[in-house]
Amino acid sequence: MENGKMENVPAKGEEVVKDSKFDRRRRLIGAICGPICALLVWITPIGGLSPEAHHLLAVMTLVALWWITEPIPIPVTSLVGPTLCVVLGIVKMKEAFAAFANPMIFLFMGGFIIAKAMTVNGLDKRIAYGIMSMKWVGDSPRRIFLAIGLACMLCSGWISNTATAAMMFPIALGLLEAIKEMMAMQGKEINLRTYKYATGLMLMTAYACSIGGVLTPIGTPPNIIMLGFLDELSGIHISFFEWMVWGFVAMICYFAIAYFVLWRMFPADIEHINGAQEMIAQKVKALGTWTRAQKNTLFAFIVAVVLWVAPGIISIIYGSDSPILKEYNRIFPEAIAAMIGALLLFFIPTNKSYTKMTLQWKDAVAGIEWGTLLLFGGGLAMGGMMYSTGLSAWIGEQIIAMLGGAPSQLLLVAVFSVMALLLSELTSHTAATNMIGPLAIGAAVSAGFSPVPVAVGVALSSSLGFMLPVSTPPNAIVYASGYIPITKMIKTGVYIDFIGIACVTIPIVLYLVEMIIK
């Protein structure tokens, strides 16, 4: 799962990425130009818009520009939008802030709490090191390369992409140091800053963390944001199980593309890494035996997963119109399943005296990404107001007109997927999805298409931010190692981004189109 854009980035990464001259200028320009552009939109007559929609467009202009340029924290901007809408009389307060109580918020919150418990109790490390210590991995650089990617990918489907990258980053560094020592013993001195395999391993660590996020609705914010928009704007509900089916296919295909591209560009020049198995074995040994807290956390996690996927299994057995399925969904919607798993952590003790539970409240509070929840709620609020005032329909009609008046569904999906990708390279992919999502759904509805394919396309494409250190926190974390030339990151990111859209995102969307037509 993804949290705030630049949290948990090492100090060096912050110096390189966060405090760059480009970012300072971007913030200054946004602070000045945002209000000016919003005012210009406010005073410019626009035919076809109601006064409420016109004024909302001005507010959206400010919010969108501030999401991109970040003169103030992105979550704060998400509160500025609904607040201005109330102050300016566009909507009433209840309507402006209703989205902050959307059930999707609690689905995400439950996921955050479970993920925090996995991190606090060491379950995430046990899973990651378990994959790395498998016999098939051995000391082969190629298989270690694959295992690092698999561990990052599988963990990040359930816990923060940033936390996963921060956890796996030291392991990758340790392996590279082992290579350097081994080469030195053979009389070969290597510079890890220019060593191809070092660059590839660092990029695999970052990219696999982002790729794993597409697996589940809670894996990364763009997934749940687009599901929220579909539910809020179109009344279409996509179940956790349904998303996992598409997400699993996308994840495996994205990973295969990343692995192929990275290994071809950054192959190892040795056949074995002496000491690699011993290093991983020491990591596993340091974890000790399974603790009661780890077992409890695993139990709570399994309960939540079972409750999430059960509707899909019931649908397969009894049919999608089954009364059993309807009753189950009434009792255990996805948000409730997440909260049950999370709440169990506070009820299951780790000692016989029942004085200590599996998760402490202070840890749970620290694990909830309040900024992400506020950004998610703000995006849903602005999207809902765009729909209720008719602004999204008007923008959708303008986009359709620019595309020739009667674009194919494939063209529509391709355009919005590329827009989401490019915007997520420059700003938080959560903010990018909040901006692109309502427009994509509005355009699809205006063109007479189902909004599901374009929504899935936008969500998947938003996770493909591989070109720049600022695109995702995992990119920034590995870039801080100094082993990745910026030109290499851009080049590999371009390859994987656009191959991913062409070979994975678009085919999945076309499949959805066929399913909807049938």
User: Position of tokens 């009753």?
Assistant: 327
Query: What pLDDT is attached to residue 86?
Result: 93
Residue 163 has pLDDT above 80, yes or no: no
CB atoms within 10 A of CB 188: 11
Q: What is the mean pLDDT of residues 172-181?
A: 76
Query: What pLDDT is attached to residue 18?
Result: 46
Query: What pLDDT is attached to residue 14?
Result: 38
Contact 504, 256 (CB under 8 A): no
| Token pair belonging to 473 | 């926190």
Query: What pLDDT is attached to residue 258?
Result: 92
Q: What is the mean pLDDT of residues 363-384?
A: 82
pTM: 0.77
The model's confidence at residue 185, banded by pLDDT at 50, 70 and 90, is low
Q: What's the burial of 405, exposed, middle or buried (CB within 10 Å: 0-12/13-18/19+)?
A: exposed
Query: What pLDDT is attached to residue 9?
Result: 40
Helix intervals (H) in 123-220 = 123-132, 141-156, 161-185, 196-212
Residue 5 has pLDDT above 70, yes or no: no
Residue 1 has pLDDT above 60, yes or no: no
| Token pair belonging to 396 | 């959708």
Q: What is the mean pLDDT of residues 488-503?
A: 87
Q: What is the mean pLDDT of residues 289-293?
A: 90
CB atoms within 10 A of CB 43: 7
The model's confidence at residue 340, banded by pLDDT at 50, 70 and 90, is very high
Across the chain, mean pLDDT equals: 82
Residue 482 has pLDDT above 90, yes or no: no
Q: What is the Cα–Cα distance from 41 to 58, expressed in whole angstroms?
A: 5
Percent of the chain with pLDDT over 70: 92
Query: What pLDDT is attached to residue 240?
Result: 85
Residue with the bigger pLDDT between 13 and 111: it is 111
Q: What is the mean pLDDT of residues 6-18?
A: 40
Residue 391 has pLDDT above 50, yes or no: yes
| Token pair belonging to 315 | 């649908």
- Of the candidates 261, 244, 169, the one whose C-alpha atom is nearest the C-alpha of residue 209 is 169
Query: What pLDDT is attached to residue 173?
Result: 79
Query: What pLDDT is attached to residue 15?
Result: 38
Query: What pLDDT is attached to residue 186?
Result: 62
What does the pLDDT look like over 186-208, one tens digit per residue? 667 776 677 788 888 889 998 99
Q: What is the Cα–Cα distance from 84 to 63, expressed in whole angstroms?
A: 10
What does the pLDDT look like over 57-103, one tens digit per residue? 999 899 888 887 889 888 898 899 999 999 999 988 888 898 888 88
**Rounded alpha-carbon distances, angstroms, from residue 171 to 12, 148, 256, 282, 361:** 18, 9, 22, 12, 30
| Token pair belonging to 501 | 């859209």
Q: What is the mean pLDDT of residues 234-248?
A: 86
Residue 514 has pLDDT above 90, yes or no: no
SS3 402: helix
Q: What is the Cα–Cα distance from 491 to 496, expressed in whole angstroms?
A: 9
Round to the nearest angstrom and report the end-to-end CA distance of the chain: 33
